[in-house]
Chain A
Amino acid sequence: MTDADAAGAAETADHEHYEAVVVGAGPGGAAAAAALARQDVETLVLERGVDAGSKNVSGGLIYAEESAPYTIDGLFPDFREAASERPVDEYYIHNVAGDRVKTFDLDRVHHHDTDWCDSVLRRRMDSWLAERVHELTRETGGGLLTEVRVNGLLRENGEIVGVTCDEIDPIRADLIVAADGVNSELARDAGLMDWDDPDDWFQGVKAVVDMDPDVVNDRFDVDPDGGAAHLFSGDLFEGVRGGGFLYTNEDSLSIGTVFHLDSLTAERAEPHELLDGLLTHPLLDRWLQGEYEEREYSAKLVPDSKKVAHPSPHRGRLLLVGDAAGQMQAQGPIIKGMNHAVTAGGLAAEAFVEARTRGDASKAGELYERKLREEGVMEKLRPRRYRASRAVSENDAVNRLGSALIDSPLGAAGLRAAEGLAERAFNSPLLLGMVPDTRFSYVTVPSRIAEVLGEPIEERSYADSSDDADDEDGVRPPDLADRIGDLTYDVGDPHIELLDESYEASGAAVTACPVSAEAFGGGCYRDERIQTNGEEKRVVSLDTQPCIECGTCAVVADTEWEHPSGGKGVEFKEG
């Protein structure tokens, strides 16, 4: 509006319209927006963070697969130079039992179908992508807006026609790409995803640890333009099903742990303590050498694509990509999410443009679904082999039998005889696709491998650094209060409502929430006892101030869960 005619005229009743609205500026949203803009589709991208990447966390490896129709550097040519940390060409898994460890080189599985693989920190990566996306989409008459939270779908006569936002008026669009992450409110509004079963999710927590680039090169024995990834499994984690990882960044390390949420909840384990268990393990001391400066603590929920990757991730004009559609492949040491989000984003754009060319944009969803299948994405996310073997291998009786077998002298002899075979098994994408999700494969097998084949962890000699007080007990990670204190932010109005405050309904959140803990008053969820008429009741109370928006409590507690408004809430600097 540039003159009084327009300023004085009554607002038109119709909402603003774009050909495409992309919700969320992570890799999936960025890929979709870039591919749409290149096809001259008028595209508006809405991001709720103060900056793209400020809400985003990942373990930290992004792959470019040879078989994938879209890669991040294909869509954004200077990506690797400008936005990633280090190329990661070494990949190991350490099987741990007590102080014994057996290391396998996972070179083969890491390089299988891999064009390249880089470590990334999401704030830097996503904000770089967002600048490119803004340039591209602006050409089409759209652009990228930050600090706008999309809070639901706009419907007319029951049909999805656009999105509604906290900050701005509703927007209509012919295509809505929900790339709003693992806690996608759009996917839930559309009834495509739910938060019901802890079984469907992993929870990851991560620390970004400061380390000078030269020290990284030296301690990991990598070139200045090289990097390494290490995975950890075995008995480090008090029997909770999951594992740990360590990736080298340019001048930091990403060290984290990922657990099955059902196991974490059942064991009443504290995620931050499990992470500390890894950080303080003698195995890590070979790289940390008593020095530890944590830049950031973060957490996120991870969908288990084997169970929740939606086979038909669309409804009307709404297409889901990336975590929002459960497109996160975690099969043993194969951990790939961002690359699938990029592919899905590209395919969603492609599907829309093709459907429109054929004269019926409403067919975009079906076309997208077909492309996911035909390009092999769905088979990677939900392997048929897993579906076939799950019923048997996740059965408890079979598990116990397996455990008994592998613990027997006979089993140990077999392992010894087949040492090479075990390493090969870890390197087989085919076998990994059917790895059952049980304690057996996460804990029992790796522990047994370490017990039988492992060697004692070499203790670092303390002679030359005896003046460092920390050295006595290895490193000392910050406590939860300090970790939360470093993540201070304005959360605005409480965005999570506790529907049932009884300990039975929501008590699991006290431990499972990565910023809460038993007997800790500074977290989101606190265990409390109240006296009413002489009777004592055990309840939980909620303060959303320290919330890092991981979504765990949406699954394990009885809540009404939403994201904070645009620009509010946690702001990750590393991600």
Chain B
Amino acid sequence: MVEIDPTEHEIADLGPKVNGVDDIEELEAMLELEREGPDRDPVKTLIESRIETLEAEAGGDEAAVDPAEVDPAELSLAEFANMVRDVDDVDLLRDLIERERDGEDRDGAITQIENRIEAIEGTEQDEDDEGPEYVPPEEKHPDLDHPTADKTYVEGVSGETYRDMWVYCETQRGELVDASKEILGKARELMDGYADRYGDEEDVIAVLIGDDVADLAEEAIAYGADRAVYHDDERLDRFRHKPYTEIYAHMCRDFEATWRDYHEPRYNVFPATHNGRDLSALVQAELDSGLASDCSDLYIEEAMISNPAKTGTPGDSEEFERVLHMPRPDFSGFEYSTILCIDKPHRDFHPQGASVIPGTFDLPDPDPEREGEVVEHDLDLPDDWFQVEVVEYDRLEEGVDLTGHDVIVALGRGIGDDPTEGIELGLDLVGAFDDAALGLSRGVITASYEFASHVEDYISEERQIGESGQVVEPEVYIAAGISGAVQHKVGMDESDTIIAVNEDPEADIRGFSDYFVEGDLFEVLPRLTAAIEEGGSVAAMEGVADD
């Protein structure tokens, strides 16, 4: 079995999943599943190109030329250029020049190497130099507006210390939302890898803001945080932009706090929920950094950057370390962009911020034994942060759940002669069972039937059974006046016993019913109801069916 079954996923979220698989055989198996299943071309292309990449990597290692050994004359200029691009050792490059001069002595090849040497040495020299002279933007461009000029943190902050991965733990009705738990799990994994790779132990910090969230702080630790910082205030009962943003930003710059000794967080990660999206944008703007929204993966790696805005000197490449890579779908998942948030001379871009689409990472199992520190954040909240008042709120209805009942009575367009009476008869039958519910075919819901007001509320898509509605598998499914189109069938044919009532003996439903009662539902349903009320069992219905 494969770990990721492509047929269970949308194309948009398969991209990062597939690119995380390194086993070619597993990919082949996934490809096979897709072919047998929905056979979506983009998915196949995705998997195939991953296989190609892996094969190229595997093959490439064998075929790779060793610049220390190779005779440059054997390589075309293009091959030569490719090889040179990966060499960082200046001595080796100088040696290569010698070998080229002794051999073919191609100007193109020598220029390639010289450029490469310049790129590398240029970078190294920069470290000795002061770099470009810093001119504050107000002086450099006196003709422009400088709306951020009075902000302390925009220009001139550079080379500060940043540590830890902060995770915003959103709460709903007194519980941590799953999306935050998922991110805590991922943050744990990332920071463990970080420690292995860089030898620095940095922490996962959970941030909780709300009313009575201290207990949840403990839970955040169980899900992977090393430390949970929380701010409790009854006025924070519901999410409000101003106080939440101010508190979060203050936590990030709480230089008084004893547990921390750094300038700002290294990374800030938010769930891309409705509230998380709002908060992430506000907080990252307040901290004068950037935000990659709606990410579909996260990883930490170095990045080679040649953009002079970042390196300070045109033509140089510089390696940035510990960069949070934030891939996100563009064009509805048609393409992926990886967003990096990188410092530039005289200005830092920290915290590196991301919001993550809920469901991107697996929900981790909590470890109640995990130890961590819970810190209460201390700040007086001025009243004018609470000028917006929440006067009323409502939760969306969860709707009618037809699954899990012993019996479903479903009505179709056979009720058309008298729709109101049809629904009444259906409800009577439902009432005759201990645990039954009323379902409808799509044909009834989309009809122009006029129902009397006392049954009107039942006519909603929430009761629809079938392909675009609910799928049910009760012990007994009674389909009255339903012809049994395939769209309806897929919603009910796993039921244990199917009883159909229909005037048309040719109706498709007969083919997949256990009992078929040929007759008018307006006559049959009342008799069924009476039989159930008397006998109270399916056996009683068989009597009716045999009539």
Contacts and interface: CB of A to CB of B under 8 A. Distances in A.
A526 interface: yes
Given A481-B508, A545-B446, A5 B416 contact: no
B339 interface: yes
A145 B331 contact: yes
B463 interface: no
A572 to B, nearest CB: 15
Contact of B340 (A2, A167, A545): A2
Nearest to B305: A3
A7 B342 contact: no
Contacts of B539: none
Interface string A342-374: 000000000000000000000000000000000
Interface residues on B, range: 35 or more
Interface stretch (B29-37, B127-135, B483-491): B483-491
Contact of A526 (B290, B307, B344, B447): B447
A545 B290 contact: no
Contacts of B416: 521, 528-529
Interface residues of A, number: 39
A181 to B, nearest CB: 21
Interface string A4-25: 1101100000000000000000
A490 B466 CA distance: 12
A51 B337 CA distance: 22
Contacts of A485: 485-487
B41 A127 contact: yes
Nearest to B350: A4
B446 A4 contact: no
A486 B490 CA distance: 12
A542 B442 CA distance: 11
A542 B448 CA distance: 8
B341 A7 contact: yes
Contacts of A146: 334
- Which of A7, A486, A530, A539: most chain B CB closer than 10 A? A7
A261 interface: no
A540 interface: yes
Given A3-B307, A485-B485, A521 B443 contact: yes
B412 interface: yes
A488 B466 CA distance: 12
A432 interface: no
Contacts of A566: 332
A251 interface: no
Interface string A44-63: 00000011000000000000
B310 interface: yes
A531 interface: yes
B181 interface: no
A279 to B, nearest CB: 20
Interface string B321-363: 0000000000110100111111010000100100000000000
Given A5-B309, A51-B41, A147-B332, A526 B339 contact: no
B109 to A, nearest CB: 29
A7 B338 CA distance: 11
B413 interface: yes
B153 interface: no
Given A3-B342, A528-B416, A528-B447, 15 more contacts: A7-B290, A8-B290, A8-B291, A50-B40, A147-B332, A484-B487, A485-B486, A488-B486, A501-B448, A521-B443, A522-B443, A526-B413, A530-B449, A540-B448, A542-B446
Interface of A: 1-5, 7-8, 50-51, 127, 145-148, 167-168, 481-482, 484-486, 488, 490, 501, 521-522, 526, 528-532, 539-543, 545, 566
13 contacts: A3-B307, A3-B340, A3-B342, A5-B309, A482-B486, A521-B412, A521-B483, A522-B485, A526-B413, A528-B448, A529-B416, A541-B447, A541-B448
